[in-house]
Each structure stands twice: as structure tokens, then as C-alpha cells.
Chains A and B, each alone.
Chain A
Amino acid sequence: GAGVSQSPSNKVTEKGKDVELRCDPISGHTALYWYRQSLGQGLEFLIYFQGNSAPDKSGLPSDRFSAERTGGSVSTLTIQRTQQEDSAVYLCASSLAYRSASGNTIYFGEGSWLTVV
């Protein structure tokens, strides 16, 4: 597609349930990122993938969060046993390259709005 596509756009789930959020990056982009934006908070880095390299998981807030990227394209962010504090907008982004000195532009999707009740 022309841009980064995320689904679902909105998700309401009950506390304790698992959720999966999907991201389809821009075709040809080798780097994929997940960020979280909570109400009243800034954007927090969660995880990124680059090609076949091991992902950088340094931003994941707990072991209830995990992500995978299949075939170097689509990524799924999974949150297990959701808590109310997980309510946020989860933004996916992609870019052409990693470790670029030229600042390859990072393009974001419209986000998945997660509400845990």
C-alpha cells in the first residue's frame, strides 16, 4: 500500500484478555518500529525490527508485551493479560534503512487505539 497500515483502528477489550495489533509497513521498507502514546504522555519507543537482525526489544514495558515480524514485512504486537494502564494508541512506523546517517524518513501509520475496560 501507499502508507503504513494498521489494524484494528480501534479496539476495546476486557482486562485480562490478550490482544493482537497488526502493522503492514510501506512496501520495501526494511525497518519497522512500534511506539506507544498514552493519554498525557509522550511517545514511547517499544521495539524495532531491521531485516533478519534480532529485534531491539529494549522499550517493551513488561514481558506481557511481545512482537514478531513475519517474512520481513507484516508485524504483530501482542499484549497478554491486558491491564488498564495498557490503554493507549499504538503506532507503527517504517523506514528504508537502519543506522542511516542521512536520516531516512520514518513514516507512521494512523495507530491502533486500545482501550482496556
Chain B
Amino acid sequence: AQKITQTQPGMFVQEKEAVTLDCTYDTSDPSYGLFWYKQPSSGEMIFLIYQGSYDQQNATEGRYSLNFQKARKSANLVISASQLGDSAMYFCAMSLTGGGNKLTFGTGTQLKVEL
């Protein structure tokens, strides 16, 4: 069975600084996808970025980039130039290609951006 681990329950970052949110995963399946979602206090899950297990390059989406280290089974999210609106809960998730898009989530990291 697959597992996602997020070891940082809470993080603080100064506005305009970069921050890295950690995520490690465990699966024996060679084909999988890794996702990051943002959940503000309103409750909606907002898709941020996706990385496929066979992708050669790290995924980037605007200020978000995914530092994918396959050998270490890590998929850390890097947010550059943090903004106050980035304050939210961030979830790392994984799906197995052979299992449809059924997601397994980590426990999340609460990010607080400060002035």
C-alpha cells in the first residue's frame, strides 16, 4: 500500500521569502503521480502542481515548483516569493496509475506567511 508522509505540521515564512514543504512517499509501484493541494480556511482543495513518476524534469507552475528526488522518494513543494494569501494547509498526495486517480493524502502542513 502507498503512503505519504508530511513531517512538518506547521511552518512559518516571511513574506517574499521562499519556503519548502516536505513530502516523502512510499510505494513499490513504478508508475505513480504526485500532487500538491492547497486548502485555505474556506475548505476548498485547490490543485497546485503535478509530477509524474516518469517525468524527467521537475514540475513548475508559476511560483510553485516540485523538487522531485525519485531515489529518495521525496516530492517537496517550493513556494517562491511567499504572499500573505499563501497562508493555508498544504497537502501532498499520490495516485497509482494502475489504481485510477484515487488519491492517498499526507496529513498536511499548515503554512503561515508573516509580514
A residues with CB within 8 A of B? 31, 33, 35, 42-43, 45, 48, 50, 56, 89, 91, 93, 95, 97-111, 113
Contacts and interface: CB of A to CB of B under 8 A. Distances in A.
Interface of B: 31, 33, 35, 37, 42-47, 50-52, 54, 91, 93, 95, 97-98, 100-108
B102 A103 contact: no
B47 A100 contact: no
A102 B32 CA distance: 9
A37 B31 CA distance: 27
Contact of B101 (A33, A111, A113): A33
A108 B102 contact: no
B47 A105 contact: yes
Nearest to A101: B97
A98 to B, nearest CB: 4
A106 B105 CA distance: 13
Nearest to B104: A45
A62 B22 CA distance: 33
Contacts of B106: 42
A48 B31 CA distance: 20
A108 B33 contact: no
A97 B101 CA distance: 8
B101 A100 contact: yes
A21 to B, nearest CB: 14
A50 B54 CA distance: 25
Nearest to B44: A110
Given A31-B101, A98-B100, A103 B43 contact: no
A109 B44 contact: yes
B43 A31 contact: no
Contact of B43 (A42, A48, A98, A110): A110
* Closest 3 pairs (CB-CB, A-B): A108-B45, A103-B33, A43-B105
Contacts of B33: 103
A93 B103 CA distance: 11
Contacts of B97: 99-101
Given A42-B105, A42-B108, A43-B105, A103 B100 contact: no
